[in-house]
């Protein structure tokens, strides 16, 4: 069975602080994709990253970085120098490497960045 | 590229009426689309997987007769909430797959009064 766990329900930080959102996954598949999405108050889901199970290199995109560790089945997301606009719900998700297969979402982490 | 358009963005309907939500892939062909439901402060719950030209596959606990899904073309899937009741009020969001991953519609906020 596939499962994604985001243990942090809510995180509150002050602007400019760094924050890490945790994601732990379970799957029996040897190949899979991992995703992060941002859901601002407006509701739409904004794609942030897709990672395949072959590639454990860390990824950096501006203030965002991702740490993928197969050994611990984790795919954590760090925002450096957080900003108020980063306030949103962030979802980690997992899928098989099959475009007809569904995305399995974690429960989400609500991030509040205070000025 | 890979844009998904979902309409309407919000709808208010009377109890007992039906509501149709459309999900269109604008610049790619979507063989498979997914429909999710999201309650306030909760995660997205998959309702069904929609494949073009065939019957949708519903997740356990989702009423097929209540949530009718049609995927008649490679660019359009529709979700019809039949005989809506206040407990059907929720945020519905569709997703389409393509080679680079999943693209989501902007969602539909349904309120049944």
- pLDDT at residue number A1: 82
pLDDT for residue A99: 65
3-class DSSP string for A33-101: EEEEEEECCCCCCEEEEEEECCCCCCEEECCEEEEEEHHHCEEEEEECCCCHHHCEEEEEEEEECCCCC
Q: Does B49 touch chain A (CB under 8 A)?
A: yes
Instruction: Give the residue-averaged pLDDT of B1-18.
Output: 94
Closest by Cβ to A44, choosing from B49, B101, B104: B104
**Residues B92-100: what's their mean pLDDT?**
90
pLDDT above 70 as % of chain B:
100
Per the DSSP assignment, residues forming a β-bridge with A4 are A25
pLDDT of residue B1: 73
CA-to-CA dists, residue B70 to A32, A78, B45, angstroms: 28, 40, 19
The reported pLDDT for the residue numbered A48 is 94
On average, the pLDDT of chain B sits at 93
Please, which residues bridge with residue A84 across strands? none
Residue of B32, B42, B107 with shortest CB distance to A44: B107
CA angle A100, B94, A29 (to 5 degrees): 30
What does DSSP say about strands A104-105 and A109-114: parallel, antiparallel, or unpaired?
unpaired
Residue A104 pLDDT > 90: yes
For residue A98, the model assigns a pLDDT of 76
Closest residue by Cα to residue B9 from B110, B111, B108, B112:
B108
Q: Which of B23, B77, B101 has the most A C-beta neighbours within 10 Å, making it the best mutation to test the interface with A?
A: B101
CA distances from B40 to A1, A6, B19, B89 (A): 26, 17, 20, 10
Mean pLDDT of A80-101: 92
- At residue B109, the pLDDT reads 96
In the predicted model, what is the mean pLDDT of residues B11-26? 96
In whole angstroms, give the CA distance from residue A97 to residue A54. 11
**Chain B residues whose beta carbon lies within 8 Å of the beta carbon of residue A91:** 43-44
pLDDT at A100 over 80: no
CA distance B99 to B81: 30
- Picking from A35, A44, A108, the nearest residue to B106 by CB comes out as A44
Which range, A10-24, A48-62, B43-57, B65-79, is most confident?
A10-24
Q: What number is the average pLDDT over the span A46-69?
A: 92
pLDDT tens for each residue of B54-92:
889 999 999 999 999 999 888 999 999 999 999 999 999
Distance CA B24, CA B101 (A): 16
Q: Tell me, yes or no, if B95 comes closer than 8 A to chain A by beta carbon.
A: yes
pLDDT at A101 over 90: no
Q: Which residue of B has its CA nearest to A104?
A: B46
> Which residues face A49 on adjacent strands?
A36
């Amino acid at each position: 069975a596939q499962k994604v766990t985001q243990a942090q329900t809510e995180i509150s930080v002050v602007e400019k602080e760094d924050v890490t959102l945790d994601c732990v996954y379970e799957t029996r598949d040897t190949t899979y994709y991992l995703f992060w999405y941002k859901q601002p108050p407006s509701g739409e889901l904004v794609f942030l990253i897709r990672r395949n199970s072959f590639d454990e290199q860390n990824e950096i995109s501006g203030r965002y970085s991702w740490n993928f560790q197969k050994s611990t089945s984790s795919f954590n997301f760090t925002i450096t120098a957080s900003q108020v606009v980063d306030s949103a719900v962030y979802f980690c998700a997992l899928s098989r490497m099959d475009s007809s297969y569904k995305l399995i979402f974690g429960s989400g982490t609500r991030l509040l960045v205070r000025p | 590229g890979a844009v998904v358009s979902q309409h309407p963005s919000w709808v208010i309907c009377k109890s007992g009426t039906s509501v149709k939500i459309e999900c269109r892939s604008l610049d790619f062909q979507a063989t498979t689309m997914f429909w999710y439901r999201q309650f306030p402060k909760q995660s997205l719950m998959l309702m069904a997987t929609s494949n073009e030209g065939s019957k949708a596959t519903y997740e356990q606990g989702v009423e097929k007769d209540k949530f009718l899904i049609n995927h008649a073309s490679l660019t359009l899937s529709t979700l019809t909430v039949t005989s809506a009741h206040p407990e059907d009020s929720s945020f519905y969001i569709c997703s389409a797959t393509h080679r680079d991953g999943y693209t989501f519609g902007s969602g539909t906020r349904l309120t049944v009064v």
